[in-house]
Amino acid sequence: MFESGPFVAEHVSETDDEQVQPNGVDLTLEAVYEQREPGRIGQDGKQIGDRQRLETQQVADDAPETYYLTPGGYVVQYAETVRIPDGHVGYIYPRSSLLRNSCMLNTAVWDAGYEGKGEGLLQVHHDIELERGARIAQLVLAEADHDGTYDGSYQGENVALDEF
């Protein structure tokens, strides 16, 4: 069974009331990266290819920072810190406005015990402008049996030590 939005919000830091939905919490865009070098996934480990953080543009002093993205694949980082509680599994889904603008957000399962500011793969099929802080994804939590909790290499990702 999926949990309610208010329950999910208890496990996401730095949210506002607009982000809490009936069945989840909207995650906002912190940064966009472009992978520049090949990565490697082997039987005995992995290596993430070098990435470059893209710069935002501001057309006026009071305008929000905006990413102007052309077709291609980008890694997006969410602004919120997520903590997947015991007895649950997390799923991230794209907001429908991304889909309606020819974009797709791909993510993986977030295991019980994961804590961090996760990432997703944004596929852009037509030019789009994304403001930093825009709601681009929704986290939902489902009840799940599990043995142990997440303790992998992405534990605490994109979180400063004093936040974690």
What tens digit of pLDDT does each residue of 9-40 get? Answer: 999 998 999 999 999 999 999 999 999 999 99
Q: What's the pLDDT at 163? A: 59
Q: What is the CATH number of domain 5-36+56-143?
A: 2.70.40.10
Q: Which two tokens stand for residue 2?
A: 């999926």
Please tell me the distance from the alpha carbon of residue 38 to that of residue 5, in angstroms, as a whole number: 38
Per-residue pLDDT band for 156 (boundaries 50, 70, 90) equals confident
Per-residue pLDDT band for 164 (boundaries 50, 70, 90) equals very low
Query: pLDDT tens-digit profile of 100-116?
Result: 999 999 999 999 999 99
Please tell me the distance from the alpha carbon of residue 64 to that of residue 52, in angstroms, as a whole number: 21
Residue 131, helix vs strand vs coil: strand
Query: pLDDT tens-digit profile of 110-149?
Result: 999 999 999 999 999 999 999 999 999 999 999 999 888 8
What are the φ and ψ backbone dihedral angles of 149, each rounded to 5 degrees? -130, 165
- More confident site: 66 or 152: 66
- More confident site: 95 or 150: 95
* Domain spans in the chain, listed from the N-terminal domain onward: 5-36+56-143
